[in-house]
Amino acid sequence: MAAFFDTSIEYLKGVGPQRSALLQKELGIFTYADLIQHYPFRYEDRTKLYKVNEVDESLASVQVKGVITRFEVVGTARKKRLVGHFQDDTGPLELVWFQGIAWVLEKIKPQVEYLVFGKPNRYGSVISLAHPELEPLTAASEKGKYLYPVYPLSEKLRARHVDNKFLVKLQQELLKMALPHLRETLPASLLHEHRLISKKEAVIQIHFPRHEGQLLAAQQRLKFEELFYIQLRLLKLKLVRQDKFKGLIFSDTALLNTFYKHHLPFPLTEAQKRVVREMYADMKTGHQMNRLLQGDVGSGKTIVAFICALLAIGSHAQACLMAPTEILAQQHYHNLKKYADAMGLSIALLTGSTKRKDRKPLHEALQSGELKILVGTHALLEEEVKFHKLGLAIIDEQHRFGVAQRSRLWQKNSEAYPHVLVMTATPIPRTLAMTLYGDLDISVIDELPKGRKPIQTTHQYDSKRLQVNAFIRSQVDAGRQVYIVYPLIEEPALPAGRSEKLDLKHLMDGYESVTRAFPDVPISIVHGQMKSKAKDWEMARFVKGETKIMVATTVIEVGVDVPNASVMIIENAERFGLSQLHQLRGRVGRGAEQSYCILITDYKLSADSRKRMETMVRTNNGFEISEVDLHLRGPGDLMGTQQSGALDLLIADLGKDTAILEKARAAAKAILEQDPELTWPQHQTIKTQIDSSKKTAINWSRIS
């Protein structure tokens, strides 16, 4: 089977070397397997035949049968077009071509009966179809009513006459040859339990369904299979790791109890207590902990991480925390230092700017075991950073670090792998978390600390600028501080430097209008073009309260806590994604005062932008926001490009297929619990499929 599907696309009838090179470059189709898994993204309904008198411009597309009585060429030069006068027994219709006129006149004959498909438009009293698809009416074509597949294509392919019609022909050609080579990839028990059709049937129906019911059955089957194999791979990884990677046993809670009794700065929320219990359960088992801790901005992840570190230190080991940027590492260091000092534990900060003379004593203290907690950036991964006994590695904002970087941290303990706690303030929808981090255990802090008032969010149009300024003035007079954030305008048509200049101009225009509106108020400005030193200096002035308004681009998105900042104004809010708006809003509301977020937009908004504004005004819950974001943007965009490769999905949609994903995961889990090595006869179908997958494959459901 594998040999057939590994055949180069070049050898399929109608392709050849040149088209093969195009299909590879434009669509990533190299082999028969790639083509047969290049699924349609929508279907045109060709199950209905309309009469000409039923056709009107409100219909998305129509199929009619009749004859062209005559052709005429109308207009000259660039306005030239070919009009075919078409009719059936109920009336006339015009068919119009603006290009390829000579080809149409040569191929399409008057007085022959055709099946015609296209999008109706109205000009005055005349209904026309522009560039319609035609095929001579035969007994087969009249009978063969079906949903017509529409495949993803590129402009370059269309320009080279590789259009949808051509792809449909290729798929028909390939399917005839491929069916005998398609084997079942799911065990009979799963097909029966989940009422799934066979693999062969599903592949035929996904490309050429006769009706909606067949299409839904095919989608259901292929989505289930895809998600089942992805979950199976993740769960198997988890089993292997629990088996192979023994963890250090940390069960001494004396240090933890001291902290609870004498130094805990505020009572923990129920969610924080639950997460601490989950981590303690992991760390005393003798298996390596691998846990993802999700919590909204300000939900108190740092103190949970510190409590976790106390478990390691109480059992004579060390802990480290790695953050993606220097500013975040410093913030974590200052937050943890308060707790560490209270407990008499040594803590240090190591970043790219730590001076060479300060590094030597730090390295020595780390190696002797005297230094208990090390906070830093990528600098922690350097060769010369050696621990006496690293027991816990905490990684903040995990999606900024690659897997290779994580595993380099693991290698820092030769005796046993350290426990790993991965933290993120970017709420990840459940389906995405189960698919991207399905090999990790997931803990969620889903409540804010007591005394925090929810941030009040409003959406205002540009025309309300004076009222917004009056509100800023009242907050500054009350002693509060204000952020005003401008978006980065990415102009894809412009080279990088030119687009950055535009961003800067946009920000400087904003800065000038703010200084004009508040001539007596000290104002800071921060943007990506500034040198780090200047940026830090401006930030520091704002933190100390020397400036009252901070005008900035999104560089402050993940950043410093300023408890006195109570207002976040987001200009051109329609240019931001939902998760970014939520992250920016999380910069305020850090103190006890009521905080506000004002989203300012143009009056004209797309449906998606309007939905984003409504969601922000309606809820402060990051998980709810992330679910809406997933629906609007899809998983690839949500995780940033480096993560979308980790999904490699052919047909499943994590925004819409939650129910299928949960069934698939439960099925994979049940099978691995009974038969972890897949040796039972009834699981041989699964084993064969895994063995035939490429060793590096992320998606084991692919035909390979």
- Residue 437's pLDDT is what? 77
How much of the chain is helix, strand and coil, in % rounded to 5? 45, 20, 35
Q: How many CB atoms lie within 10 A of CB 685?
A: 20
Cβ atoms 419, 393 nearer than 8 A: yes
In the chain, the percentage of residues whose pLDDT exceeds 90 is: 48
Buried b (16+ CB within 10 A) or exposed e, 304-340: bbbbbbbbbbbbebbbbbbbbbbbbbbbbbebbbebb
DSSP 8-state assignment for residue 348: E
pLDDT per position as a tens digit, 27-82: 999 999 999 999 998 898 888 889 999 998 888 889 999 999 999 988 887 888 89
Q: pLDDT band for position 398 (50/70/90)? A: low
DSSP-assigned states of every residue in 27-41:
H---BHHHHHT---S
Cβ atoms 616, 578 nearer than 8 A: yes
Distance, in Å, from the CA atom of 328 to the CA atom of 342, rounded to the nearest integer, reads 22
Cβ atoms 311, 256 nearer than 8 A: yes
Q: How many CB atoms lie within 10 A of CB 402?
A: 11
- Which positions ≥6 away from 615 have C-beta within 8 Å? 578, 624, 625, 628
- Residue 531's pLDDT is what? 84
DSSP 8-state assignment for residue 702: S
- Which positions ≥6 away from 420 have C-beta within 8 Å? 288, 289, 290, 291, 392, 393, 395, 406, 409, 410
In which residue are the tokens 């900042």 written?
Answer: 565
pLDDT at 592 over 80: no
- Which positions ≥6 away from 503 have C-beta within 8 Å? 488, 489, 527, 528, 553
* 258-262, 359-363, 692-696: segment of lowest average pLDDT: 692-696
Helix, strand or coil, per DSSP, at residue 355? coil
Cβ atoms 318, 346 nearer than 8 A: no
Cβ atoms 242, 291 nearer than 8 A: no
Q: How many CB atoms lie within 10 A of CB 2?
A: 13
More confident of the two residues 321 and 580: 321
- Residue 556's pLDDT is what? 66
Cα 686–691–693 angle (5° rounding)?
A: 95
- Residue 641's pLDDT is what? 34
- Residue 343's pLDDT is what? 94
pLDDT at 640 over 50: no
- Residue 336's pLDDT is what? 93
pLDDT at 239 over 90: no
Q: pLDDT band for position 500 (50/70/90)? A: low
Strand segments (E) across 336-479: 347-350, 373-376, 390-396, 419-424, 441-445, 456-461
In the chain, the percentage of residues whose pLDDT exceeds 70 is: 92
pLDDT at 105 over 50: yes
- Residue 433's pLDDT is what? 79
pLDDT per position as a tens digit, 435-461: 777 778 889 888 877 777 889 999 999
Structural tokens at position 645: 């490769």
| Total residues belonging to the chain | 704
pLDDT, average across residues 563-571: 92
φ and ψ at 683, to 5 degrees? Answer: -105, 10
- Residue 424's pLDDT is what? 85
pLDDT at 634 over 80: no
Distance, in Å, from the CA atom of 299 to the CA atom of 620, rounded to the nearest integer, reads 12
- Which positions ≥6 away from 619 have C-beta within 8 Å? 625
Domains assigned to the chain: 48-144 (2.40.50.140), 212-244+652-692 (no CATH), 254-285+300-424 (3.40.50.300), 456-619 (3.40.50.300)
DSSP 8-state assignment for residue 557: S
- Residue 643's pLDDT is what? 40
Q: pLDDT band for position 704 (50/70/90)? A: low
Beta bridge partner(s), residue 481: 565
Counting beta carbons within 10 angstroms of the beta carbon of residue 701, is it exposed (0 to 12), middle (13 to 18) or buried (19 or more)?
buried
pLDDT per position as a tens digit, 510-541: 899 999 999 999 999 988 778 878 888 888 89
pLDDT at 675 over 90: yes
* 164-173, 218-227, 252-261, 449-458: segment of lowest average pLDDT: 449-458
* 100-114, 484-498, 690-704: segment of lowest average pLDDT: 484-498
pLDDT, average across residues 273-286: 92
pLDDT, average across residues 87-104: 89
CA distances from 641 to 34, 612, 635 (A): 21, 21, 10
pLDDT at 494 over 70: no
Cα 261–265–267 angle (5° rounding)?
A: 75
The strand order across the sheet containing 373-376 reads 347-350, 373-376, 318-322, 390-396, 419-424, 290-295, 441-445
More confident of the two residues 402 and 420: 420
**pTM above threshold 0.85:** no
